[in-house]
Homo-oligomer: A and B are copies of this chain.
Amino acid sequence: MLVGCQFSLYPMTDRYINVILGSVSSLDERSDLRVSRDEISTLVVGSPQAIFDAVLDCFVVASQRAQGHLVLSAMFSQGCPGEPDDEICRPATPTQSAACTGVESAPLEPSGVEVSAQFAVLPLGDPGYMDIIYREIATVKSSPLQYRAKNFCTRIDGDARAVFAAMQHAFTSAAQDVGHVVVAATISTGSPSAKTQ
């Protein structure tokens, strides 16, 4: 089963090339991921834990290099039919996945990067999918993260590591009910805009 993420970093600075290349170069050293890229996005394929860890690492490094406004756009996907199967993509068992999310388990070491994020968890192929979405939203609302309702997505604010853990939990939890799950996410830091919602 293919598990992966297409993601892009957007540093709002004239130095964006340097920031982006310096933030994703370490991916090629990881043996637990398959990595490819084109001019739009970087693809990482591996276990859910490996891909969330890797994308978070890239985002944190990029935020340090950008020294200003930075946005990550990411589409995490698991089990999409029509994709090639691969050993590296074998998902963690449900027990392993739950243990990795950090939502119900021990407090996470903060990344030091405060973010505003929004994401949509989209379980495909199941007429009862809204029950899964409502359940995942309820889990987020019960977490220490700052929650706000938005149209079409869920907004959460807090430390980047906690935000990633919440998204990973929604992803792996939904994947226990349906074979194909997409999480579309936007994570922003350093925005000069007033927080209006």
Contact of A182 with B77 at beta-carbon distance under 8 Å, contacts A82-B130, A155-B40, A196-B37 already known: no
Contact, CB under 8 Å: B13 / A10: no
Contacts of A135-172 to chain B: CB distance below 8 A: 150-153, 155
* Identical chains in the assembly: 2
Tell me if A47 is interfacial: C-beta within 8 Å of chain B: no
List chain B residues, Cβ under 8 A from A153: 6, 75
Describe A's contact surface by its main secondary structure: mixed
Rounded to whole Å, the gap between the CB of A44 and the closest CB of chain B is: 10
What residues of chain A have their CB less than 8 Å away from a CB belonging to chain B? 2, 4, 6, 8, 10-14, 16-17, 37-41, 43, 45, 69, 71, 73, 75, 77, 80-83, 116-118, 120, 122-127, 129-130, 133-134, 150-153, 155, 182, 184, 186, 188, 191-197
Q: List 24 A-B contacts (CB under 8 A).
A: A2-B151, A6-B150, A10-B71, A11-B12, A13-B14, A16-B69, A37-B196, A38-B193, A38-B195, A38-B197, A40-B186, A40-B188, A41-B118, A45-B151, A71-B73, A73-B186, A75-B152, A77-B151, A82-B134, A122-B122, A122-B182, A123-B124, A127-B127, A182-B184
